[in-house]
């Protein structure tokens, strides 16, 4: 089977455009997509707590994972190579259309993937640097950053999942397993539990 995966960072970005472009490129390259998976999530979130992790877990020997470019898999350099290694071990063919990477292990193929991974990492670092510089400039100008003093976020992304979390932890599940179930990072679970203990 051929699985196509698309990721966008915010709701403002158009996953539909990426999906359409991938379908067109895949068709011209002779690939017929069996299942298309898309999600709105930061590229810094670890791959195994995203839909991507679930897709890879379902894939079998000989299946193909198709992405428009390496950066759609994520923007963390180490995570990208974890994904590549996972695919190699499971005999999953990973194809990145923009970089023309076709899952091979020879020097040329590895250079294509390496270039894509490095580009994704550098783009993330540049964005982070620009954000920090902009915040520093606002702070220097006397602009107060963050929420107004005395306010707090009344909602939590895990609201409504309290029972599931309690049951899984009571049955011996790890925080990582709970995080995968709740579709969040394991650190989010840790902070949630600490907050709960402080209130109790």
Looking at residue 64, its pLDDT comes to: 92
The domain of 57 spans 2-119
In a domain, 125, yes or no: no
Q: Based on the domain organization, do 30 and 85 belong to the same domain?
A: yes
Given a contact cutoff of 8 angstroms between Cβ atoms, the answer to whether 175 and 190 are in contact is yes
Domain total of the chain:
2
Q: Is pTM, for the whole model, over 0.85?
A: no
Q: Based on the domain organization, do 27 and 88 belong to the same domain?
A: yes
- Mean pLDDT of successive 10-residue stretches along the chain, which has 200 residues: 85 67 78 87 82 92 89 82 88 86 72 71 70 76 69 64 85 86 85 75
In a domain, 138, yes or no: no
Q: Based on the domain organization, do 113 and 170 belong to the same domain?
A: no
Looking at residue 38, its pLDDT comes to: 86
């Amino acid at each position: 089977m051929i699985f196509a995966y698309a990721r966008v960072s915010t709701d403002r970005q158009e996953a539909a455009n990426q999906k359409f472009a991938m379908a067109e490129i895949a068709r011209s390259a002779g690939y017929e997509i069996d299942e298309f998976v898309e999600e709105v999530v930061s590229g810094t979130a670890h791959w195994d707590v995203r839909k991507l992790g679930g897709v890879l877990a379902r894939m079998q020997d000989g299946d193909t994972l198709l992405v428009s470019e390496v950066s759609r898999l994520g923007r963390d350099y180490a995570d990208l190579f974890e994904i590549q290694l996972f695919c190699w071990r499971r005999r999953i063919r990973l194809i990145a259309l923009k970089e023309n990477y076709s899952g091979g292990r020879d020097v040329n193929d590895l250079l294509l993937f390496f270039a894509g991974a490095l580009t994704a990492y550098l783009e993330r670092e540049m964005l982070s640097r620009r954000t920090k510089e902009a915040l520093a400039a606002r702070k220097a100008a006397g602009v107060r950053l963050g929420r107004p003093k005395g306010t707090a976020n009344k909602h939590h992304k895990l609201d409504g999942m309290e029972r599931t979390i309690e049951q899984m932890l009571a049955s011996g599940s790890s925080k990582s397993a709970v995080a995968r179930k709740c579709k969040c990072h394991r650190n989010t679970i840790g902070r949630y539990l600490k907050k709960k203990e402080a209130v109790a």
